[in-house]
Structure formats: structure tokens, C-alpha cells
Amino acid sequence: TQLLEQSPQFLSIQEGENLTVYCNSSSVFSSLQWYRQEPGEGPVLLVTVVTGGEVKKLKRLTFQFGDARKDSSLHITAAQPGDTGLYLCAGRDDSWGKLQFGAGTQVVVTP
């Protein structure tokens, strides 16, 4: 079983600060996705990375997939209260395989 470990579990920062969330595994994934989930809602896909070393940017969010496709990071620059939520990473070992999720990182950004 491939396991995805996220760190930290909880992050509380002030508006304007930067933060990084990590997602690590001992196994290789064909693709890795990042989701954000807000209370009372299902997760919403932020990005999918498939190539080792790939970096994708979504406004103030930067996603990186490790060269060996075993780890990923999410960096938020100048966090805003609207970035508050549960950030989940999820890996898939092939196009048809099941999606496995990390435990999530709860991010709280206070004004």
C-alpha cells in the first residue's frame, strides 16, 4: 500500500506570511494532485502534476513534484484569509488506479 504523509498537520499564520505544505511517500506516483476542502464541502482540485521536477503556478500558489515523483510541495505566497482550508494531496499510480489521499494539512490564515 502506498502511503502519503503530509506535514505539518496544522498551520496557523497571519495574513501576508508565506507557508509551505509537504507531501511525501516512499513510493512512486504517476500523478499527484492537490485539493482544498472547506467546511461542509467536498474537496476541490487545485492542480495535477505528472512529470518529475514539474513546477506549476496558480496565482500565489506554487506546486512542485519531486524529481523521483515521490514527493510534492505546495507553497503559498502572501497568504490571505481566503486561503484557509484543509489542503490534501492525493496520488494515483496509473490512469485507472485508485486515488490515495494524505491525511491533510489544516491551514488557518488570520487577518
Partner 1 sequence: KAGVTQTPRYLIKTRGQQVTLSCSPISGHRSVSWYQQTPGQGLQFLFEYFSETQRNKGNFPGRFSGRQFSNSRSEMNVSTLELGDSALYLCASRTGTGGLQETQYFGPGTRLLVL
Q: Which stretch binds partner 1 (CB under 8 A): 27-35, 55-63, 65-73, 76-84?
A: 27-35
Q: Distance between alpha carbon 94 and the CA centroid of its chain, in Å?
A: 19
Alpha carbon distance 3, 24 (integer Å): 8
Ramachandran quadrant class, 30 (left: phi over 0; alpha: psi -120 to 50; beta: rest):
alpha
Min dist CB 100 to partner 1, Å, is: 7
72 touches partner 1 (CB under 8 A) = no
Min dist CB 97 to partner 1, Å, is: 7
Alpha carbon distance 52, 31 (integer Å): 9
Query: Which residues of the chain form contacts with partner 1 (CB under 8 A)?
Result: 1, 30-31, 33, 35, 40-45, 48, 50, 88, 90, 92, 94-104
